[in-house]
């Protein structure tokens, strides 16, 4: 408790002022929601103080300057969120989530840190969502609530998916947010000092878009996720050349996940030719694993299945939810004879059944993983089944997907993935596409975004090879701030804003920090060793036997010698610290720390492993 009090005293006045302003902006919200939002903010803040920003506090923005601040997405795949700040106006692009890495034990997902925006909620003019993938909308329910539900802007499907996530997070919360729907792709919207224009991009989900942010000092072009239109027909082919005619100077913010890919982009025609062949020739059931947001592909499979007289069953909560949203918007039109319930697939011959499901990334509890481990309620694999991975590999999931493929190959004779056949059209670019985009747009400055750092550096090399000046390419880390002003080159500030991880674990938002993660990692590697000692308060002698409990370290009943030797170490430490006058008050907490240290050293010496040692000394 004393430590917590000291930390609270060290919080500067500006943070307290910002927090009080935040409370004022929340007055119009229902009491339940206001309390939850403030509680979440405080949870997040407690995590932030475990990881303070070493570079110091960022100074207040000056007049006539535009700040661009990535709060996520610059050092990972996911957690995409960018802040644009011009004087007293703030516009945000995307609020994505990031899936946990292998060493983030027990974490559900990660969201951007919005500490920089605390106290500036009233300045937020709107949040733009470029498309409906989770790495762009997944954090929206949490962050929109914490920021007082600013207006959100996007196209029909994107906004519908955001609203669905809001309702899943807290029922009846979607009506608290004002939506601005981009009906025409050439719509213009003014938000304070920002004027916005939207444009269509080629990507793997319907209603994807890029955004142009016009400001008095620079025109910012944010592509969202994009690729080039590589269809065989030149009629209506999408090009980004019109962006070269925007007011100068321009800064092109270009998603760069394909910066190392030399492979030619697959066309829709090539993919569909292969998928149709597989659908027609499958010897038994066809199980197609893909992303739940691949609404267009699901629609096309449904339409083709109807044409050839096959039945389609969907499985996966998010997939069913997204298809339902698309049906309500009229994007998917399907009759009841074609779309069947997963529990009814046994009512039809295997050759007539197509299952579209989630789990192509090897997620433990997703549908495909449950199928391969025989934990699915209605599907048990047969040798005649055909499994199709109609998805790309998200960086970081390679090992999980490989394990999944190995297990599928053991049970099925027909496993198809992109390494052996083009059964997926990715929504991202390649080296050639990046070079072509820069040639088409002719920007003044380029900022590679939305990828791991090494992708961004590779994108820089690609752009420079085409003669683009290296001094006009900026690669930022999460939390770095770049400022644009008239008649001056862009400046990257020395100070950074806090972009540390905010972990979501169950219902907790930001209440799991690096200390807790380190404890979980230690427990998972070497286990736990609990020592319980009872001390007589009068004579300071040990009462009864010392109790030892081990979890994940050793089996106590088979290691009596090690356990007894450890007890002797504990007895020695207690004797050395209690051999003085019994009337002197003893600090048992210090003795516990000494037991922890000595037992830890002894166990490591004997086993070359160091479990988490938890001594409990009780005086009675």
Whether residue 536 sits in one domain with residue 593: yes
Task: Look at residue 66 in the predicted model and tell me its pLDDT.
Answer: 95
Q: Specify the CATH number for the domain of residue 356.
A: 3.40.50.10710
- Alpha carbon dihedral 317, 323, 325, 331, in 10-degree steps, equals 170
- The last residue of one of the domains, among 509, 542, 571, is 509
CB contact at 8 A, 446 and 468: yes
The verdict on residue 133 lying in a domain is: yes
CB contact at 8 A, 14 and 22: no
The residues, any chain, with a CB within 8 Å of residue 335's CB and separated by 6 or more, are 306
Whether residue 568 sits in one domain with residue 453: no
Whether residue 451 sits in one domain with residue 398: no
Q: How many CA atoms are closer than 13 Å to the CA of 468, on its beta-carbon side?
A: 26
Cα–Cα separations (whole angstroms), residue 596 to 149, 523, 524, 535, 538: 48, 15, 19, 17, 24
Whether residue 215 sits in one domain with residue 273: no
Whether residue 490 sits in one domain with residue 532: no
Task: Look at residue 24 in the predicted model and tell me its pLDDT.
Answer: 39
Whether residue 75 sits in one domain with residue 219: yes
Whether residue 240 sits in one domain with residue 303: no
Task: Look at residue 105 in the predicted model and tell me its pLDDT.
Answer: 56
Summarised one tens digit per residue, pLDDT across range 79-129 is 999 999 999 999 999 999 987 766 565 667 789 999 999 999 999 999 999
Find residue 488's DSSP bridge partners: 485
The predicted model scores a pTM of 0.74
The verdict on residue 521 lying in a domain is: no
The span from the CA of 484 to the CA of 506, in Å, is 40
Q: Specify the CATH number for the domain of residue 564.
A: 3.10.20.580
Print the domain residue range for 601: 527-619
The verdict on residue 423 lying in a domain is: no
Backbone angles phi, psi at 565, to 5 degrees: -65, -35
The residues, any chain, with a CB within 8 Å of residue 67's CB and separated by 6 or more, are 61, 83, 84, 85, 86, 481, 482, 483
Task: Look at residue 518 in the predicted model and tell me its pLDDT.
Answer: 61
The span from the CA of 374 to the CA of 389, in Å, is 19
Whether residue 212 sits in one domain with residue 347: no
The verdict on residue 380 lying in a domain is: yes
Closest CA to 265 of 389, 437, 98: 437
The residues, any chain, with a CB within 8 Å of residue 109's CB and separated by 6 or more, are 97, 98, 99, 100, 138, 504
Find where tokens 């002719």 sit.
442
Whether residue 348 sits in one domain with residue 435: no
The span from the CA of 351 to the CA of 368, in Å, is 19
Task: Look at residue 45 in the predicted model and tell me its pLDDT.
Answer: 31
CB contact at 8 A, 336 and 344: no
The span from the CA of 125 to the CA of 229, in Å, is 33
Residues of the chain with confidence (pLDDT) below 50: 1-55, 234
Identify the DSSP state of 88.
T
Task: Look at residue 542 in the predicted model and tell me its pLDDT.
Answer: 81
Whether residue 132 sits in one domain with residue 88: yes
Task: Look at residue 9 in the predicted model and tell me its pLDDT.
Answer: 38
Query: How many structural domains is the chain composed of?
Result: 3
Q: Specify the CATH number for the domain of residue 99.
A: 3.60.15.10
The span from the CA of 239 to the CA of 268, in Å, is 17
Whether residue 96 sits in one domain with residue 211: yes
DSSP string, 464-521: HHTT--GGGB----TTEEEEEETTEEEEEEEEE-----EEEETTEES---HHHHHHHH
- The last residue of one of the domains, among 364, 391, 416, is 416
Backbone angles phi, psi at 573, to 5 degrees: -60, -45
| DSSP E strand stretches across 249-377 | 250-255, 286-289, 311-315, 339-340, 353-357
The verdict on residue 550 lying in a domain is: yes
Whether residue 141 sits in one domain with residue 51: yes
The span from the CA of 133 to the CA of 291, in Å, is 9
Closest CA to 268 of 246, 245, 243, 237: 237
The verdict on residue 401 lying in a domain is: yes
Identify the DSSP state of 227.
B
Neighbours of 104 (CB within 10 A): 19
Strand order, beta sheet including 209-214: 188-191, 194-200, 209-214, 219-222, 250-255, 445-449
**Helix 453-465 crosses helix 431-441 at what angle (to 10 degrees)?**
60
The residues, any chain, with a CB within 8 Å of residue 15's CB and separated by 6 or more, are 45, 118
Task: Look at residue 71 in the predicted model and tell me its pLDDT.
Answer: 95
The verdict on residue 514 lying in a domain is: no
- Please return the burial class of 478, using the count of CB atoms within 10 Å of its CB with bins 0-12, 13-18 and 19+: buried
- The last residue of one of the domains, among 509, 535, 552, is 509
The verdict on residue 517 lying in a domain is: no
Closest CA to 407 of 423, 384, 427, 387: 387
């Amino acid at each position: 408790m004393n430590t917590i009090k000291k930390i609270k005293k060290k919080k500067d006045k500006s943070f307290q002022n910002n927090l009080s302003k935040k409370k004022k902006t929340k007055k119009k919200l229902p009491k339940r929601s206001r309390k939850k939002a403030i509680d979440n903010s405080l949870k997040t803040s407690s995590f932030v103080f475990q990881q303070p920003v070493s570079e110091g506090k960022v100074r207040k923005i000056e007049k006539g300057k535009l700040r661009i601040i990535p709060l996520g997405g610059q050092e990972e795949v996911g957690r995409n969120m960018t802040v644009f700040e011009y004087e007293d106006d703030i516009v945000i692009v995307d609020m994505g989530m990031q899936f946990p890495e292998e060493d983030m034990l027990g974490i559900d997902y990660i969201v951007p840190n919005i500490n920089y925006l605390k106290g500036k909620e009233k300045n937020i003019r709107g949040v733009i969502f470029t498309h409906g993938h989770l790495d762009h909308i997944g954090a929206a329910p949490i962050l929109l609530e914490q920021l007082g539900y600013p207006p959100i802007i996007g196209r029909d499907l994107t906004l519908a998916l955001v609203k669905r996530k809001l309702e899943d997070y807290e029922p009846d919360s979607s009506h608290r947010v004002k939506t601005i729907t981009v009906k025409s792709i050439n719509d213009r919207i003014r938000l304070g000092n920002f004027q916005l224009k939207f444009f269509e991009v080629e990507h793997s989900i319907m209603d994807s878009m890029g955004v142009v942010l016009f400001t008095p000092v620079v025109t910012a072009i944010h592509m969202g996720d994009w690729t080039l239109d590589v269809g065989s027909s030149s009629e209506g082919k999408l090009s980004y050349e019109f962006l070269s005619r925007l007011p100068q100077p321009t800064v092109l913010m270009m998603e760069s996940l394909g910066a190392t890919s030399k492979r030619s982009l697959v066309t829709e025609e090539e993919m569909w030719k292969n998928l149709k062949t597989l659908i027609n020739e499958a010897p038994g059931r066809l199980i197609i694993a893909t992303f739940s947001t691949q609404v267009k592909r699901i629609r096309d499979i449904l339409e083709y299945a109807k044409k050839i007289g096959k039945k389609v069953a969907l499985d996966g909560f998010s997939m069913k939810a997204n298809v339902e949203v698309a049906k309500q918007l009229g994007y998917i039109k399907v009759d009841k004879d074609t779309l069947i319930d997963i529990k009814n697939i046994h009512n039809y011959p295997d050759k007539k059944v197509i299952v579209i499901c989630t789990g192509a990334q090897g997620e433990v509890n997703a549908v495909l993983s449950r199928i391969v481990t025989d934990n699915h309620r209605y599907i048990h694999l047969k040798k005649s089944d055909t499994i199709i991975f109609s998805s790309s590999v998200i960086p970081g999931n390679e090992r999980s997907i490989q394990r999944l493929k190995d297990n599928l190959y053991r049970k099925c004779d027909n496993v198809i993935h992109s390494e052996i056949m083009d059964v997926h059209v990715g929504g991202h670019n390649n080296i050639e596409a990046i070079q072509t985009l820069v040639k088409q747009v002719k920007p003044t400055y380029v900022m590679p975004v939305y990828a791991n750092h090494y992708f961004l550096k590779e994108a820089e090399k690609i752009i420079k090879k085409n003669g683009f000046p290296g001094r006009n390419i900026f690669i930022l880390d999460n939390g770095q701030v770049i400022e644009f002003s008239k008649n001056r080159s862009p400046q990257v500030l020395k100070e950074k804003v806090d972009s540390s991880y905010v972990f979501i674990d169950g219902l907790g938002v930001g209440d799991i920090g690096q200390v807790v993660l380190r404890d979980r990692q230690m427990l998972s590697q070497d286990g736990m060793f609990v020592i319980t000692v009872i001390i007589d308060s009068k004579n300071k002698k040990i009462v009864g036997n010392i109790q030892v409990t081990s979890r994940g370290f050793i089996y106590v009943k088979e290691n009596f010698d090690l356990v007894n030797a450890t007890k002797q170490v504990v007895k020695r430490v207690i004797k050395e610290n209690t051999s003085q006058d019994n009337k002197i008050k003893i600090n048992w907490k210090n003795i516990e720390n000494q037991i922890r240290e000595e037992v830890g050293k002894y166990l490591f010496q004997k086993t070359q492993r160091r479990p988490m040692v938890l001594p409990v000394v009780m005086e009675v």
